[in-house]
Amino acid sequence: MRSVKAALVQMRVTEDKERNLRSASDAVRRAADAGAQVVCLPEMFVCPYERHAFLAAREARGGRIWSALAQMAAGSRVVLVGGSFPEAAEGRLYNTCFVFDAAGRQIARHRKVHLFDIDIAGGQRFRESDTFSPGADLTVFDTPLGRFGVVICFDIRFPELMQLMALYGAEAVFVPASFNMTTGPAHWQLLFRARALDAQIFLLGCSAARDARSRYVAYGHSLAISPWGTVLAELGAQPETLLVTLDLDEALRTRAQIPVMAGARRTDLYELRWQRGENLKKPRG
Ligand SMILES: NC(=O)CCC(=O)C(=O)O
């Protein structure tokens, strides 16, 4: 069995960037001490989920946040899916996740592809595109533990993205996230289970802990779903770290038994294709 121990850090996010970095670093260290090999942080783990906070916390690659993440990975000897932070680049801002190997080297970068613009009558309203530009990459990366993918929060609503990552060999996809109190109770678990089944992969969603005093209230409920659609573990709303062991061969077993992602697709009738595939590893057929 090719097993991987993963940790999802559902941390409390405050206005204080340095305090958030310390909380993240302590949690990564504790997760590594508990045996985690890959650790994921939440979307925007350095600042509250609000436009003014995004602007105040923005930094370039190589800055304080990026360097702190690299140190966390190297110091704890884990693969680190570094949540996300407002990345300043090319005169724009992106909602970006950097991934580091256990030596602290950057091995992937995902800029959120689908920006969170919703307007629900009597419920949550948000316009992420007022602040951020969208990314344009499908992010699949190799580690000594297996081939993984990363998307950010609202990206989970787009089944094509997860299926494409599965075609490009991802066995587990990490999702730094921050759902809210309108769509969280209604859609969070359902979306993760649906996407895990669509793509026949492990899906791991890592949210910030809920803070009822903040303007944007995160749902919490970080969770891990198997390629069979089973909820392996799910947290509540409080700060806590979820530890879960993934049997990566389950993705292959599931595909062999129900060949949705392995042979049964009618590619003579329809096609699933990443338009900018030149930088990606070969798809699995
Ligand atoms: N931060 C986000 O992208 C939130 C996505 C969300 O809440 C949703 O319903 O989708």
Which run of H or of E encompasses 193? helix 183-199
Mean pLDDT in residue range 50-70: 98
Question: Which CATH superfamily groups domain 3-279?
Answer: Carbon-nitrogen hydrolase (3.60.110.10)
Beta strands at 117-119 and 106-111: parallel, antiparallel or unpaired: unpaired
Ligand 1 centroid distance, CA of 201 (Å): 21
Residues 274 and 198: their CA atoms lie apart, in Å, by 17
- pLDDT above 80 for 134: yes
Q: Is 18 a catalytic residue?
A: no
Kindly state the average pLDDT of the residues 93-111: 98
The helix/strand count (H/E) of the chain reads as: 6, 15
CA distance 79 to 82: 9
Which stretches of 103-197 are assigned E, i.e. beta strand? 106-111, 117-119, 125-127, 140-143, 146-150, 172-177
| CA of residue 196 to ligand 1 center, whole Å | 17
pLDDT digits (tens, 9 = 90+) for 227-238: 999 999 999 999
Residue ranges of domains in the chain: 3-279
**Does residue 178 carry a pLDDT above 80?**
yes
Q: What is the pLDDT of residue 285?
A: 46
- Model pLDDT, residue 276: 81
- In a mutational test of the pocket of ligand 1, which residue from 153, 182, 188 has the highest number of ligand atoms less than 8 Å from its CB? 153
Which of 30, 51, 27 is CA-nearest to residue 41?
27
Residue 10 has phi, psi (to 5 degrees) of -90, 90
Interval between CA 203 and ligand 1 midpoint (Å): 16
Cα separation, 169 vs 180, whole angstroms: 31
Mean pLDDT over 243-265 rounds to 93
- pLDDT in the model for residue 150: 98
The pLDDT value given to residue 282: 61
Annotated active-site residue 5? The verdict is no
Q: Whose CA is nearest to atom 1 of ligand 1?
A: 178
Give DSSP secondary structure letters for 205-264.
EEEPPP-TTSSS------EEE-TT--EEEE--SSSEEEEEEEETHHHHHHHHHSGGGTT-
* pTM greater than 0.95: yes
Dihedral sign of CA atoms 54, 55, 57, 62 in order: positive
Percentage of the chain exceeding pLDDT 70: 97
Q: What is the mean pLDDT of the chain?
A: 95
What ipTM was assigned to the predicted interfaces of this complex?
Answer: 0.99
Query: Whose C-alpha lies nearest to ligand 1, atom 4?
Result: 179
Q: Whose CA is nearest to atom 5 of ligand 1?
A: 154
pLDDT in tens, 195-224: 999 999 999 999 999 999 999 999 999 999
Quick one: tokens of 230? 């089973």
